[in-house]
């Protein structure tokens, strides 16, 4: 029989916060200032969610030094303006409040931890989360699997039972990063992921209102877990 989840890991961009325009706007400004061509809008949205340094290399095709220079310039703009332009998705506060009665919540985001904390504090959502785990400022920790490791370690330090976690996220990086830990993922269908990015997830929440019911179903049978589970 399915067992209740003991902790709920939640992605930030595309899951809690509608942040695409704030991220892509600051990124486009940084690229223009450093003389790099800005990809078309359809490609710019691909930057939202995964580590930005990877996107600058893989999507924009920038060499490592140029990608790091754009990332630093981006952060100047984003910390000053963009971070405060993101808005919580409609209904996400209510969904998180309901989920919190089921199990502790933790943010696990590829966004730098310091910025993620500021965004959640600005939105008034920070108190809902037991821990906020993210990338390190120097990008040495940015992969979703590594961020999840940090989230689980912080939670364990707080005495939270991490034996049956679940991930909620919108991109394939969330699904794969969680699967590396044997953690099932529920996809946030309102986010920025393409349909093919749901492969390996145990469920798709079509709206924020769907989340409490899906999570209440509990830890899936072993046969239903994603690869690595």
Separation CA 78–CA 82 (nearest Å): 4
**CATH superfamily of the 7-18+87-224 domain:** HAD superfamily/HAD-like (3.40.50.1000)
Q: What angle do CA 19, 21, 23 make, to 5 degrees?
A: 70
Q: Is the pLDDT of residue 9 over 80?
A: yes
Of 11, 146, 170, 174, the catalytic one is: 11
Q: Indicate the pTM of the whole model.
A: 0.86
Structural domain boundaries in the chain: 7-18+87-224, 20-84
pLDDT band at residue 142 using 50, 70 and 90 as cut-offs? confident
Give tens-digit pLDDT for 189-212: 999 999 999 999 999 999 999 999
Task: Select from 39, 55, 128, 30 the least CA-distant residue to 88.
Answer: 128
- Three-state SS at 19: coil
Q: Is 11 a catalytic residue?
A: yes
Give tens-digit pLDDT for 145-175: 999 999 999 999 999 999 999 999 999 999 9
* 7-18+87-224 against 20-84: fold identical: no
């Amino acid at each position: 029989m399915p067992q209740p989840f003991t902790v709920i890991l939640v992605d930030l961009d595309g899951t809690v916060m509608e942040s695409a325009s704030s991220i892509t706007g600051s990124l486009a400004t940084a690229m223009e200032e450093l003389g790099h061509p800005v990809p078309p809008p359809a490609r710019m949205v691909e930057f939202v969610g995964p580590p930005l340094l990877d996107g600058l290399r893989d999507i924009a095709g920038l060499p490592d030094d140029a990608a790091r220079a754009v990332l630093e310039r981006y952060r100047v703009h984003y910390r000053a303006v963009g971070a405060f332009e993101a808005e919580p998705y409609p209904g996400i506060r209510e969904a998180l409040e309901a989920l919190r009665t089921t199990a502790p919540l933790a943010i696990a985001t590829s966004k730098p931890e310091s910025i993620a904390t500021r965004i959640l504090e600005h939105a008034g959502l920070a108190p809902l989360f037991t821990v906020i785990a993210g990338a390190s400022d120097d990008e040495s920790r940015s992969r979703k699997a590594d961020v999840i490791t940090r989230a689980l370690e912080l939670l364990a330090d707080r005495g939270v039972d991490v034996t049956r976690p679940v991930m909620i996220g919108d991109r394939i990086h969330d699904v794969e990063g969680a699967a590396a830990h044997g953690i099932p993922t529920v996809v946030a269908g309102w986010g920025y992921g393409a349909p093919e990015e749901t492969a390996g997830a145990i469920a798709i929440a079509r709206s924020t209102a769907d989340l409490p019911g899906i999570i209440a179903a509990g830890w899936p049978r072993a046969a239903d877990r994603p690869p690595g589970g």
